[in-house]
Amino acid sequence: MRHWKIICSNDLFSTFNTMFRFYFALWILLIALQFCIVNDTLAQSSDTLKEVKVHGRHRASNDIRVNEFSPGQKVVTIDSATLQQYQLQNLANLLSQQEPVFVKSYGLNGLATLNFRGSSAAQSQVMWNGIPIQNAALGIADVASLPVMLMSKVNIVYGGSSALLGSGNVGGALLLEDDAPVFRSRDSDNTHLSLSLGGGSFSQYMGGFKASTSGSKWYFSMDGFGQFGADNFRYTTLQGPRILMQHDTMHGTSGILRAAYKIADKNIISLSAWYQQNNRDVPPALFETYSDKIETDRSLRFLLDWNKQTANSTWYAKSSFIRDEETYSYEAVQLHTDDIAYQYYQEAGWRKQFGQYGQLLLFIPVQIAWLNLPDSNKTMQQDKIALAAAYDYKHFNNRLDMALNVREEEIIGQGDSISRQNVFLPGADASYIIFNWLTVRANAQRTYRAPTLNELYFNPGGNAGLKPEQGWSEDAGYTVKAGSGNFTLYHDLSVFNRDIHNWILWLGGAIWTPHNIAEVHSRGVESSNNLTYATGKWKIHFGINTAYVLATTVSSYIYNDGSVGKQIPYTPRYNGQLNMGFSYRRFSFNYNHTYTGYRFTTTDESSYLLPYQTGSVQLMYSQPVHDRQWQFTGQCNNIWNEQYQVVASRPMPGINWLAGIRVDLL
Residue 9, SS3 per DSSP: helix
CATH of the domain at 465: 2.40.170.20
pLDDT in tens, 166-175: 999 999 999 9
Instruction: Report CA 456 to chain centroid distance, whole Å.
Output: 26
> In the prediction, which pLDDT does 59 show?
60
Q: Are 479 and 489 in contact (CB under 8 A)?
A: no
Q: Are 228 and 204 in contact (CB under 8 A)?
A: yes
Query: What are the beta bridge partners of residue 665?
Result: none
126 and 33 in a common domain: no
Q: Are 124 and 172 in contact (CB under 8 A)?
A: yes
101 and 28 in a common domain: no
- Report the predicted TM-score, pTM, of the whole model to 2 decimal places: 0.89
Helical ranges in 341-438 per DSSP H: none
Q: Which of 145-154, 326-335, 645-654 has the lowest mean pLDDT?
A: 326-335
Q: What share of the chain has pLDDT > 90, as a percent?
A: 75
Distance CA 36, CA 21 (A): 23
Concatenated DSSP letters of 477-529: EEEEEEEETTEEEEEEEEEEEEEEES-EEEEESSSEEEEE-SEEEEEEEEEEE
56 and 5 in a common domain: no
494 and 440 in a common domain: yes
pLDDT in tens, 321-356: 999 999 999 988 888 888 899 999 999 999 999 988
21 and 116 in a common domain: no
74 and 26 in a common domain: no
Identify the helix (H) or strand (E) that includes residue 25: helix 2-37
Distance CA 99, CA 109 (A): 20
Q: Are 618 and 594 in contact (CB under 8 A)?
A: no
Measured CA to CA in angstroms, residue 146 lies from 87, 95, 132 at distances of 11, 12, 14
pLDDT in tens, 439-484: 999 999 999 999 999 999 888 888 989 999 999 999 999 999 999 8
pLDDT in tens, 57-93: 446 788 999 999 999 999 999 999 999 999 999 999 9
Identify the helix (H) or strand (E) that includes residue 533: strand 519-535
With the CA atoms of 231, 236, 237 and 239 taken in that order, what torsion angle do they form, in degrees rounded to the nearest 10? 160
62 and 18 in a common domain: no
Q: Are 507 and 516 in contact (CB under 8 A)?
A: no
Structurally, the chain folds into a number of domains equal to: 2
Distance CA 558, CA 555 (A): 9
Beta pairing, strands 124-128 & 172-177: parallel
Q: Please provide the distance, in angstroms rounded to a whole number, between the alpha carbons at the two ends of the chain.
A: 65
137 and 20 in a common domain: no
pLDDT in tens, 490-527: 999 999 999 999 999 988 777 889 999 999 999 999 99
172 and 149 in a common domain: yes
328 and 426 in a common domain: yes
Q: What's phi and psi for 144, nearest 5 deg?
A: -75, -15
14 and 105 in a common domain: no
110 and 19 in a common domain: no
Distance CA 658, CA 203 (A): 10
**Which residues constitute the domain of residue 16?**
1-37
List the one residue out of 658, 654, 652 whose CA is nearest residue 104: 652
Instruction: Report CA 578 to chain centroid distance, whole Å.
Output: 18
Concatenated DSSP letters of 416-454: SSEEEEEEEEEEEEEEEEEETTEEEEEEEEEEEEPPPHH
pLDDT in tens, 204-252: 999 999 999 999 999 999 999 999 998 788 888 877 788 888 888 999 9
